[in-house]
Chains A and B, each alone.
Chain A
Amino acid sequence: MKGWRYSAAASFSILFLWQLIIWGAEPPRYILPAPSAVFLSFIDNLGLIYEHALVTLTEVFLGLLIGISFGCVTALYLETSRTARLFVRPLLVFSQALPVFALAPVLTLWLGYGMTSKVVMAILIIYFPVTSAFHDGLSQTPQRFLDLAQVMKATRLRLLFLIKVPAATPSLFSGIRLAAVYAPIGATIGEWVGSSQGLGYLMLLANGRVKTDLMFAALLTLGAISMTLYGATGYALKQLSKRYKVD
């Protein structure tokens, strides 16, 4: 619980610093609104923010679900097939050399302004960390377990699912934790490039209309969603991974 106290203290310090700047520099409201103004804007626009947050959340969840599934399947494929390791892995690494963000306009062009392009953006952004983390875990099964399985004449598939996959679970969980942070970024970038819904869209809209307080309210909501998602995923996975920890 101590960690929470430090996080709260850090948040309050930033808010206080923010308020100090307001008091000291007195910037115009459209440049930097006071924390209180942002809070009031949040309350006034609660319905609007909720509506757009729901869209972003849906994109994030779909992105996570599909991205993690694809990542797991790819990692299993890489582990079982030498050909895949030779051909697919370099492609994966190359895909990471490309700035995925730069694809956002093309995705919007291909898939339209709807939710699909944002979900695909989130998938693209989390696919590699999940694949990479899980595959690393699968290829690092402790040798002693592999020896035991060999002496017991394990079949390849049973070795994979009874020993390699459980032993790689903590690595997969690290990948999922990263994915939980990246997915909202992916979805928001998609929304920035072209959309009519979502927190990213609301931010752009508010910015264009010089409603800086609403822009900050949407931004902080997005931050809160990401933090909650990361915290919840982290907590749930920590509970689960206790069982899978190999000494």
Chain B
Amino acid sequence: MTETGPAISIKGKAFEENELLFDTLDIQIEAGHWTCLLGPSGVGKSTLLRLLAGLETHVTFEGTITASDAQEVASRVSYMAQSDLLLPWATIGENICLGAKLRGETIHKNKRAAIIEQVGLGDHIDKYPSELSGGQRQRAALARTLMEDTPIVLLDEPFSALDAKTKFQMQELVAETLRGKTLLLVTHDPGEAVRLCHRIYILNRHELHVARHLQPPFPKDHKDEAVFALQNELLAQIRGTEQ
């Protein structure tokens, strides 16, 4: 469960219909650590994540995506998005094992049972996604990600559709269960970035700043004054009025 992922380096530039989207991009994702890509909507954060996952994008990327162990990145990622991506016609139990089913692999029932207990969905395994709340559905999506057990995890604003209380609970659960993975979190919420990530990059239009390196423990206490101050500082940077 805690296989440490490789470090990943993304270097290059990207164009969107001949218009520059990112210039001289240089992102270092540390091995087994959480890196955050923070920025306002529409700057191409999710596009970058899709590039890492090997998914189709509308941009032309000129550069390299390399892993420290020289193996391909896209073939060993799992992906969690804002939408839970649960199949409405499959039960929670079936959804959690979707990856193995799609690849024609054997489903490890014991592993699944342990993960379902871990995310607190023990009573919901035979239910359909429509019967669960938003928070429970996102837990199921987390369980599906855990079941994949890939060394690299990509999170695309996975908490943004949740209410404040559920969001905090989910952040704690994700921080605990995905510890040790090489993880890239895309978000527009500075609070989330500060609470969860070792390294924070800020992506504004065409520009990338390395904001901070934070030290464990994670998740940080949101009531902590230092966390609060850093959150405000990041917010100011996103708004382009650096203090």
Contacts and interface: CB of A to CB of B under 8 A. Distances in A.
Do A and B make up one complex?
Answer: yes
Interface stretch (B62-70, B77-85, B178-186): B77-85
B113 to A, nearest CB: 21
A162 B102 contact: yes
B89 A244 contact: yes
Interface in B85-141: 85, 87-90, 98-99, 101-104, 128
Interface in A36-95: none
A159 B128 contact: no
Interface stretch (A122-130, A146-154, A188-196, A213-221): A146-154
Given A154-B102, A158-B104, A159-B102, A148 B85 contact: yes
A204 interface: no
B55 A150 contact: yes
A171 to B, nearest CB: 14
Contacts of B89: 166, 169, 243-244
B101 A147 contact: no
A247 B98 CA distance: 19
A245 B88 CA distance: 7
A163 interface: yes
Contact of B103 (A148, A154, A246): A154
B24 interface: no
Contact of B99 (A145, A147, A152, A166): A152
Contacts of B55: 147, 150-151
A153 B83 CA distance: 20
Nearest to A165: B89
Contact of B128 (A152, A154, A243): A243
Contacts of B103: 152-155, 158
Interface of A, secondary structure class, is helix
Interface string A214-247: 0000000000000000000000000000011111
Interface residues of B, number: 23
Nearest to B78: A151
Contacts of B77: 151
B102 A144 contact: no
B88 A244 contact: yes
A147, A163, A169, A247 interface centre (most CB from chain B within 10 Å): A147
A144 B148 CA distance: 18
A29 to B, nearest CB: 56
Contact of B79 (A147, A155, A243): A147
A173 to B, nearest CB: 13
A140 to B, nearest CB: 15
A163 B103 CA distance: 13
Given A147-B55, A148-B79, A243-B128, A153 B102 contact: yes
B232 interface: no
A152 B88 contact: no
Nearest to A166: B89
A163 B87 CA distance: 8
A145 B102 contact: no
B34 to A, nearest CB: 19
Interface string A168-180: 0100000000000
Contacts of B98: 148, 152, 162
Given A145-B85, A150-B55, A155 B104 contact: yes
Given A148-B79, A155-B104, 18 more contacts: A144-B81, A144-B83, A147-B53, A147-B79, A148-B85, A148-B98, A150-B53, A152-B99, A152-B102, A153-B99, A154-B102, A158-B101, A163-B102, A166-B87, A169-B89, A243-B89, A244-B89, A245-B88
Interface of B: 50, 53-55, 75, 77-79, 81, 83, 85, 87-90, 98-99, 101-104, 128, 148
The 4 closest A-B pairs by CB, nearest first: A154-B102, A152-B99, A166-B89, A151-B79
